[in-house]
Every structure is written in structure tokens, then in C-alpha cells.
Amino acid sequence: MSALILDGKALSLESEADLTQRVAAIKEQNNGQAPILATILVGADPASATYVKMKQNACKRIGMESIAVEMPSTTSTRELLAKIDELNINPNCHGILLQHPVPSQIDERACFDQIDIAKDVDGVTCHGFGRMAMDEEAYGSATPQGIMRILEAYDIDLIGKHAVVVGRSPILGKPMSLMLLNGHATVTICHSRTQNLPDLIKQADVIVGAVGRPEFIQAEWIKDGAVVIDAGYHPGGVGDIELGPLVDRVAAYTPVPGGVGPMTINTLIQQSVIAAEKSL
């Protein structure tokens, strides 16, 4: 059996073509002003700086603009909250991204929740999470929302299927589980301390690896014909799942790289465009 490759890179390129047209339409209606995404980077973590740059480049590709806010590693919670407030009241700023993680002295949750829900295009606020969980209109957390877009684009049927999510982070594992539940899957949430984890994973029709450890989920734990979603990315180009032995026996899988990653960034940009459209 040759598995279907869930190509997030190809999907993101298709989406960018559509978003480019939508941005042009926004500019026509808004006196030439393009949608703007504000990116906030606190400190000098090189990986975070790279991720922010990728998001800024994605804005440029579709004609959006970005406000690059860079703050020192000594920034306090109060200073970061004040910067977020400044962006909240800026009518030309349509989306706000606070790059995770922030330095340890900052109350990250308080800062996430300071973002106006209308500009929470990365889906990080408790308010947005609650609305998403209740299946109300909200911007979904970018990575799980991107995964849902992949599943929809490739017509992966979730209704009644057993989905197992390995990971419980507030911006990936938890929202992923609720999105799958809202998609009518039966969901089991696991994590690194779950007992009998291999036995639970063997039951999965859909497995989502979101535990943040390289190849933590072993190929032998996954049954033939499963749909495999790997949300991890680690040095050496590996994800959270041991993908190599699976490519000839599962129904579908996201490659690493080129699967979930491109759709995470694209979803952030798409939701920024939607926010700009709503603001008009």
C-alpha cells in the first residue's frame, strides 16, 4: 500500500495564490492600505527569530505588511502588556503574534490574554480557546487549525473515527483535541506520562504527534491504515513520530518537513487576512 502524502507545502502555495487576490481586494477598499500583522519577538532566541522572519516573509509574498516589534530579553510583563495594548488600539494593525516562548520573568499567559480577540489571529487567548471549544466563531490556534485544513483538503473523514492526540500543550495538543471532537471524531488525549501509551496509540484511526520529543512515537505502535499527523519538527529533519517504517503501511501521513509546518504559517496569515476583511 502506498500512503497518501498530505502535502502541506503544496496546499500553502495554493492558499497563498487565493490570499494574494484577497489582499489586493482589501487594498482597493481601504485606500491602498494592506492588512498588517504585528509580530512581537522578546529576547534573542535564534529559533524564535527565524520563525518570526518566516511569518514576515509569508506576509510579503501575498502583499501584506508587518510591524516587527523587537523587545530586549529584560522586558517585564508590564512593558509587554503595554506594547500589546498599543497594538490593540492601532486601527491599521489587524493581527498580533506574540512569539512563544518569552523570557521566564514574563507572565506569558497574561500577555497572550491581553491580545484583543479580534486580533488573536494565532489563536492563543483563553477567550478564543473557549469559543473554539464551544464550536463558536473564533480564530483557531494556528498549528491545529492548519492540521484541520489539511485533513479537509484531502477529504480525510473524521466522523466516528478514533483520534489519538499525543500532547496537551495549550496551543497545540489541547485545541487539536477539541477541534477533532468538533469534527465528530472520538478523541483520546495522551501525553508523555500516559500509562500504556503504545496500547492506546495502536487503537488510533488518526494519530497526531504533538509531544515535542524527536521520534518519541514509535512506528510499531501505529496500526496499518492509520492517518498519521506529525506536528513536531526537530534538528535533523525529524518529527515526533518515527515516520520511515510507516510510509508503506499507513493510509496517509504528513511529511517532515513539508507537512504541518507550512500550513501553520499559512493559517496565521489566512486568519490575519480574515481579520482585515472583518475590520472593513
Task: Give the structural domain span for 163.
Answer: 142-261
How far, CA to CA in Å, does 102 sit from each of 33, 109, 128, 181, 249? 31, 10, 20, 30, 40
Output the pLDDT for position 246.
96
* 109 labeled part of a ligand binding site: no
Residues 194/172, Cβ–Cβ less than 8 Å: no
| 59 and 149 together in one domain | no
Q: Which residues contact 138 (CB under 8 A, 6 or more apart)?
A: 117, 120, 123, 128, 129, 131, 132
Q: Grid coordinates 508503506 are at which residue?
A: 248
Residue 37 lies in a domain: yes
| 151 and 215 together in one domain | yes
* 168 labeled part of a ligand binding site: yes
270 is catalytic: no
Output the pLDDT for position 1.
63
* 169 labeled part of a ligand binding site: yes
Which residue is catalytic, options 55, 83, 161, 174? 55
First-to-final CA distance of the chain: 49
Residue 62 lies in a domain: yes
Pick from 164, 169, 167, 174: which is nearest to 199 by CA? 164
How far, CA to CA in Å, does 45 sit from each of 48, 58, 71, 87, 103? 5, 20, 12, 23, 9
Which residue is catalytic, options 122, 205, 230, 240? 122
pTM of the model: 0.96
The tens-digit pLDDT sequence of the chain (280 residues) is 689 999 999 999 999 999 999 999 999 999 999 999 999 999 988 989 999 999 999 999 999 999 999 999 999 999 999 999 999 999 999 999 999 999 999 999 999 999 999 999 999 999 999 999 999 999 999 999 999 999 999 999 999 999 999 999 999 999 999 999 999 999 999 998 999 999 999 999 999 999 999 999 999 999 999 999 999 999 889 999 999 999 999 999 999 999 999 999 999 999 999 999 999 8
| 108 and 196 together in one domain | no
- Count of domains in the chain? 2
Mean pLDDT of the chain: 96
| 146 and 76 together in one domain | no
105 is catalytic: no
- Please give the biggest Cα pair distance in the chain: 59
Interaxial angle between packed helices 260-279 and 142-153, expressed in degrees from 0 to 180 and rounded to the nearest 10: 100
